[in-house]
Amino acid sequence: MKEQLKKIEALAKQELEACSEIKALDDLRIKFLGKKGELTAILKQMGKLTPEERPVIGQLANQVRADIEEALSQKLSALKAGAQEARLKEETIDITLPGKPAPLGKFHPLTKVENEIREIFMGMGFEIADGPEVDDDYHVFEALNLPPDHPARDTQDTFYIENTDETILLRTQTSSVQVHVMETQKPPIRIISPGRVFRSDAVDATHSPLFHQIEGLVVDKGIKMSDLKGTLEMLMKKLYGNDCKLRFRPHHFPFTEPSCEVDISCFNCGGKGCSMCKDEGYIELLGAGMVHPKVLANCGIDPEEYSGFAFGLGLERMVMGRYDINDLRLLYENDVRFLSQF
Amino acid sequence: MNLSMRWLADYVKADVPIKEYCHALTMSGSKVECYETEGKDISNVVVGKILSVVPHENSDHLVVCQVEVGREAPIQIVTGASNVNAGDIVPVALDGSALPGGIKIKKGKLRGVESNGMLCSLGELGLDVRDFPYAIEDGIFIMQEDCQIGQDIQSAIGLNDTSVEFEITSNRPDCLSVTGLARETAATFDLPLTVPEPSFKGVEGDISSMLKVDIHDPEHCPRYCAGIVKNVKIGPSPRWMRERLRASGVRPINNFVDITNYVMLEYGQPMHAFDLRYVEGSHINVRKAKAGETIMTLDGVDRELTEDMLVIADEKKPVAVAGVMGGEYSGIMDDTTTVVFESAYFEPTQVRRTSKALRLKSDASARYEKGVDPTISMTCLKRAFQLVEELGAGEVLDTVIDCGHSNFQPSKVEFDPQWINEFLGTDISEDQMKEYLGRLGFTFEGSSVVAPSFRIDIECKADIAEEVARIYGYNNIPSTDFRGVARAEFTEEQKFVRALRNAAVALGGYEIATYSFVSPKYFDKIKLPENSPLRKVVRIVNPLGEDTSVMRTSTLPSMLDVLSFNYNNRNESACLFEIAKEYLPVEEKRNYQGDEAFLVSSGQPRHEYEYQLPDEPQRLTIGMYGGNADFYALKGMVEQLLAELHISGYEYIRAKDSDAFDEKYALHPGRSAVILRDGVALGFLGEIHPDVQENYEIGVKTYAAKLNIPELMAAAQDKITYSPLPKFPATTRDLSLLVDDEVPVAELEKAIRSAVGKILEKVTLFDVYKGAQIESGKKSVSYSISMRSHDGTLTDEQADSAVKKALKALSAVGAELRG
């Protein structure tokens, strides 16, 4: 019997070795270990053994069963692993084939940069104010210390509305929102106002009769010109990185005093001078200044008690600088090949 | 303002490289646009002397010259000019020289004879006869200058000045002059400034016997000074004066005109010179024009004057428009013998209004309307006479007329160094401030600072702060963070628009930006009926062109323009959106009652305009073509947007059956809808009418929608509450219905909803079929109805009974279960 058991074990191992399918493995289990299997058949003959032989053979039989089971289980794992591997291999695809496009919209670059600026200012506690685009002479000029017959009106290239005796016009600057805000709100005031403005400039690579400005206004007790500098420097460092430098130049706006123009170190050469900045090292960026006492007074705010600063930056210029866009017209043509790039 | 650096050096010696000069002036407030050195595009052109001129052996119109140019041996030059003779001094462009316009001169052979350069005309040097009146226009420039043979032509004829172009802001008319910029230069570099007081000798004579002046409008002409030059010799002015005028961008004309321009450039005071012969009655009256009076101005245009214009008149007629331009017939002519010089102060607004009304601008009006120094009329008259004598241009009478006296008071402002430092955020000492202001011509009187007479812009403390700041240097002011608690948040509207924009991008829209003004042609392009309210527009009086002449009353045409642009640029598909305003005129007159913004504390309006501002409502416009675009793709996008904004309970009606949007005429009548909620139209959507597609040259089906943002905002549910997730399973029944083709499926859905009631969870349409097996005029519509109760699992009986009710309701709208 001993020989028979050994033979079964050898046979089982041999057949297992040859087996290559998980299904066939079950047949082998039944064949060797099943109720009608070969091992069971042998064990049924145990009765014929002497009492001395029984425990020895019994132990051996159990050993053989355990060995076969172990071999079966090992084979099963091996076959499963093989099958999985084969499946994974079979399922291999060309990962360089193109992806299926999912619809993805795009913000207009003007919106993108405007949002960025909004967020920076909201972080500094500025609210967003809106005002009408078609406005009256008082809000766009007169209250801003540009009385009728003021020579600075010539530089404004204003579009006027028909049949209104030149009293209604398209705002030439978002500064008009300053007046609207100060008329309805008392200091402390801290706002920005992004929006469309209109000037009679023929369309070319750097001009458009419609463009966007972002106006800023802060009015409170003790506001200083150095605060204006600090605020603008903070904005530009956040937008253009810590290396950018600002340059403040005296200028004239009727609604601020002192007034300045602010230049930023050239995006291209960083201040060394190149063709983009006409060898200046700086590019003109925005106009700013301390709110003129007359403007405060016009809006019912006592200039002896309060002071403020204001600035107006051209959004198009910032967008163009940001993305190296060399032609303003692209922003208003809206070619999808252009829009898809932002 | 173009500044001659050579002229500037008369008053201040700024010995710095030109680039540094320009930068420093820019940083102290006089912005330099650019600078240009005359003659810089000329090189290797020298003074030469013609030694001999002989005919060319192979040509009758060429001559061969031997020219001495300061080298060891004379050089040979062939020229076609006929005005050269031995002994002439001429400009010679040598081999390898450059002339204006990028012209290069090289030696070569002309008809077989060697020529080693070129003799130059004035034109070839970039000049004309007004620069050198003794020369001729076409021919070699035969020089009468004091110069050496071989000398560079630039230095020989004074073509080596540097001209700096300043951008002078409207508040600083004093800087529209050499002395003004000299003062800024001196202050910037802290250098001494020397402007000598002009004086003239004059010949004895009593002006009152020759000329009388009366000011009839002292308000607008507070001061009028005049003097007379007799026995005048009209001729060209000397080279130094011509050079300075040229560098300042002014063409020399004759000595008298040049003197008036020279003084204006030097002091910023416009001068006028005219012929005494044409002053009838030898009597000048500064008065308002009379109705119907006309004058032909120096530019040869007849101009009609009105009663609010100020004129310089003789006893009968106007001879000049005060401060703007002189009359053609009283100007200086070649036979003029006696000249009157005028130096006056005219009130700025008066000049500006007149100049604007006549659409006539001049160098004089540009200065007067900004405000000239009210105290220098006499100084400038003297300066002009000094120059007349220096030029030997005539005899100046030693008596002058000084009529009217400006009651000018210099501007006096409180000097408060502490306030200035607090305002600027600086720590500048009082002495330092005084020193800065002193450099700029300010003086001190007690606790006040007094502005010089030419600084008409100084009115308040902030102006003084600016003066201190710009000399101190804006860039030396520190940068600080301001204090104070601030709260910032978006308004409800801003939040809503942001959510809308984000949703539109999430749904695949590309955002566009278009102009607010459009062409009125769009009315017809989108087929608006003649009486459409959208044709009532806010119109621009002075547009750039018809294309941008009206404020849009609909955003649709702008979208169609962009779709067309993309289609015609061969972009296969586009899905675009824009959030922007429409401008809707408001008919009624403005009412200020209760409008706080327009009232000052006294309750009076600040300003009254009878015209109403237009409404500027925001719109979301969507447009698409190509790709998967069709009516339902657009509708799906709109519905997703509405869902994202928590807007529900709306329905669709055919656009043609609604009066809400006149854009419906631009839409396919069978494929367009208006979205209605509680009777309020939220927007429209649809396929663009084939005619309109053709008008916009779009060759594929195009779809557009417009949503009114204020209406959307009102419809949006602001409070969102969570609905518990279901605990019990849903029961689903599918129905295939047969119904007349015209019946909109929305009616079927409505019937199902109301019949099934509370347990209805979802009605999903999954098929619409027309064709084989369906009788014509009918369609098969299949729904999946999902029902669920929150109280327990629905029984089959409950579900069946609900379906039975639904079928009954469906039958009422003509839909039967398909057999």
Q: How far is CA A9 from CA A43, A159, B107, B586, in A?
A: 14, 103, 113, 103
Average pLDDT over residues A204-212: 92
pLDDT range class, residue B533, cuts 50, 70, 90? very high
Three-class DSSP category at B329: helix
User: In A, which residues are within 8 Å of B469 by CB distance?
Assistant: 225, 250, 258
Residue type, B813: V
**Inter-chain contact A200–B542, Cβ cutoff 8 Å?**
yes
Distance in angstroms (rounded) separating the CA atoms of residues B89 and B109 = 23
Distance in angstroms (rounded) separating the CA atoms of residues A56 and A38 = 19
User: In B, which residues are within 8 Å of A249 by CB distance?
Assistant: 26-27, 29, 31, 474
CB A194 within 8 A of CB A128: yes
- For an interface test with A, give the residue of B367, B440, B541 to mutate (most A CBs within 10 A): B541
Average pLDDT over residues A46-67: 84
User: In A, which residues are within 8 Å of B609 by CB distance?
Assistant: 136-138, 164, 167-168
Which tokens in the block code for residue A165?
A: 């005796």
pLDDT range class, residue A7, cuts 50, 70, 90? confident
- CA-based nearest residue in chain B for residue A108: B511
What is the percent of chain B with per-residue pLDDT over 90, rounded to a whole number? 79
User: In A, which residues are within 8 Å of B426 by CB distance?
Assistant: 226
What is the percent of chain A with per-residue pLDDT over 70, rounded to a whole number? 99
Per-residue pLDDT tens over the stretch B44-87? 999 999 999 999 988 888 999 999 999 889 999 999 988 999 99
Three-class DSSP category at B690: helix
State the pLDDT at residue A63.
86
- Closest C-alpha to A60, from A14, A13, A7, A17: A7
* Facing A159 at nearest CB: one of B370, B491, B542: B542
CB pairs under 8 A between A and B: 262
Distance in angstroms (rounded) separating the CA atoms of residues B129 and B717 = 81
Average pLDDT over residues B499-505: 96
Distance in angstroms (rounded) separating the CA atoms of residues B753 and B745 = 12
Distance in angstroms (rounded) separating the CA atoms of residues B331 and B324 = 14
Name residues 43-102 of chain B within 8 A of A (Cβ). none
* Facing B462 at nearest CB: one of A138, A143, A292: A292
* Facing A151 at nearest CB: one of B170, B460, B548: B170
Which tokens in the block code for residue A211?
A: 């463009």
State the pLDDT at residue B601.
47
Cis-peptide into A258, omega within 30 deg: yes
State the pLDDT at residue B589.
67
State the pLDDT at residue B592.
55
**Inter-chain contact B544–A258, Cβ cutoff 8 Å?**
no
List, in order, residues 6 or more apart from A224 with CB less than 8 Å away.
A307, B422, B423, B424, B425, B480, B482
Cis-peptide into B222, omega within 30 deg: no
User: In A, which residues are within 8 Å of B551 by CB distance?
Assistant: 134, 170
List, in order, residues 6 or more apart from A226 with CB less than 8 Å away.
B424, B425, B426, B477, B478, B479, B480
**Is B602's pLDDT higher than 50?**
no
Distance in angstroms (rounded) separating the CA atoms of residues B276 and B652 = 85
Instruction: Please name every residue paired with A215 in a beta bridge, in sequence order, or none if there are none.
Output: A193, A312
Q: How far is CA A60 from CA A29, A38, A43, A49, B338, in A?
A: 18, 15, 11, 14, 149
- CA-based nearest residue in chain B for residue A292: B462
Task: Kindly state whether B586 is in contact with chain A, defined as any CB-CB distance less than 8 angstroms.
Answer: no
**Is B264's pLDDT higher than 80?**
yes
**Inter-chain contact A230–B480, Cβ cutoff 8 Å?**
yes
Main-chain phi, psi angles of B455, to 5 degrees = -95, 75
Distance in angstroms (rounded) separating the CA atoms of residues B446 and B460 = 16
Kindly report the nearest CA distance between residue A96 and chain B, in angstroms.
Answer: 24
State the pLDDT at residue A240.
87
- Closest C-alpha to A171, from B516, B704, B454: B516
Name residues 498-527 of chain B within 8 A of A (Cβ). 501, 504-517
**H or E, element range at B355:** helix B348-358
Q: Strand A127-128 vs strand A189-198: parallel, antiparallel, or unpaired?
A: parallel
User: In B, which residues are within 8 Å of A106 by CB distance?
Assistant: 505, 510-511
Cis-peptide into A188, omega within 30 deg: yes
C-alpha B172: how far from chain center: 20
**H or E, element range at B517:** strand B517-518
Least confident of A59-63, A194-198, B301-305, B476-480: A59-63
Instruction: Please name every residue paired with B4 in a beta bridge, in sequence order, or none if there are none.
Output: B163
User: In A, which residues are within 8 Å of B481 by CB distance?
Assistant: 227, 230-231, 234
- CA-based nearest residue in chain A for residue B367: A151
CB B300 within 8 A of CB B397: no
- CA-based nearest residue in chain B for residue A306: B423
Q: Strand B283-288 vs strand B212-215: parallel, antiparallel, or unpaired?
A: parallel
Distance in angstroms (rounded) separating the CA atoms of residues B593 and A194 = 30
**Inter-chain contact B508–A104, Cβ cutoff 8 Å?**
yes
List, in order, residues 6 or more apart from B661 with CB less than 8 Å away.
B655, B674, B681, B683, B684, B706
Neighbours of B501 (CB within 10 A): 21
Name residues 321-350 of chain B within 8 A of A (Cβ). 348-349
Least confident of A40-49, B129-138, B229-238, B736-745: A40-49
Average pLDDT over residues B341-355: 94
Kindly report the nearest CA distance between residue B765 and chain A, in angstroms.
Answer: 24
pLDDT range class, residue B458, cuts 50, 70, 90? very high
pLDDT range class, residue B493, cuts 50, 70, 90? very high
- CA-based nearest residue in chain B for residue A158: B542
Least confident of A49-58, A211-220, B450-459: A49-58
CB B538 within 8 A of CB B616: no
User: In B, which residues are within 8 Å of A332 by CB distance?
Assistant: 513-515
Per-residue pLDDT tens over the stretch A156-166? 689 999 988 88
Per-residue pLDDT tens over the stretch A87-126? 999 999 999 999 988 888 999 999 999 999 999 999 899 9
Between these two residues, B720 and B616, which has the higher pLDDT value? B616
Distance in angstroms (rounded) separating the CA atoms of residues A191 and A204 = 32
Per-residue pLDDT tens over the stretch B679-700? 999 999 999 999 999 999 999 9
Distance in angstroms (rounded) separating the CA atoms of residues A33 and A25 = 12
User: In A, which residues are within 8 Å of B539 by CB distance?
Assistant: 161-163
The order of strands in the sheet holding B412-414 is B412-414, B448-450, B443-445
Which tokens in the block code for residue A313?
A: 């930056």
pLDDT averaged over every residue in chain B = 92
| pTM assigned to the model | 0.85
Percent helix, strand and coil across chain A, each to the nearest 5: 45, 20, 35
* Facing A151 at nearest CB: one of B352, B540, B606: B352
Instruction: Please name every residue paired with B103 in a beta bridge, in sequence order, or none if there are none.
Output: B99
Which tokens in the block code for residue B61?
A: 């119109």
Residue A214 falls in which region: left (phi positive, over 0), alpha (psi -120 to 50) or beta: beta
Average pLDDT over residues A316-320: 91
User: In A, which residues are within 8 Å of B25 by CB distance?
Assistant: none
Q: Strand A256-265 vs strand B294-296: parallel, antiparallel, or unpaired?
A: unpaired
User: In A, which residues are within 8 Å of B576 by CB distance?
Assistant: 334, 336
Enumerate the H helices of B541-630 as residue ranges.
556-568
- For an interface test with A, give the residue of B372, B479, B553 to mutate (most A CBs within 10 A): B479
Per-residue pLDDT tens over the stretch B565-582? 999 999 999 999 999 999
State the pLDDT at residue A155.
67
**Is B590's pLDDT higher than 80?**
no
- CA-based nearest residue in chain A for residue B422: A224
Neighbours of A1 (CB within 10 A): 16
Neighbours of B329 (CB within 10 A): 15
**Is B772's pLDDT higher than 90?**
no
DSSP secondary structure code for residue A47 in this structure: G
Three-class DSSP category at A192: strand
CB B174 within 8 A of CB B264: no
**Is B132's pLDDT higher than 90?**
no
Structure-token match 């099958």, residue found: A83
User: In A, which residues are within 8 Å of B423 by CB distance?
Assistant: 224-225, 290, 307
State the pLDDT at residue B194.
94
Across B741-759, b (16+ Cβ under 10 Å) vs e yields eebeeeebeebbeebbeeb
* Facing B611 at nearest CB: one of A110, A150, A167: A167
- Closest C-alpha to A219, from A252, A180, A259, A185: A185
Kindly report the nearest CA distance between residue A199 and chain B, in angstroms.
Answer: 10
Distance in angstroms (rounded) separating the CA atoms of residues A284 and A323 = 17
**Is A179's pLDDT higher than 90?**
yes
State the pLDDT at residue B369.
92
Least confident of A42-56, A140-154, A303-317, B587-601: B587-601
Environment class of A244 (CB within 10 Å of its CB; exposed 0-12, middle 13-18, buried 19+): middle
**Is B406's pLDDT higher than 70?**
no
Average pLDDT over residues B11-39: 93
State the pLDDT at residue A17.
84
Three-class DSSP category at A48: helix
**Is B719's pLDDT higher than 90?**
no
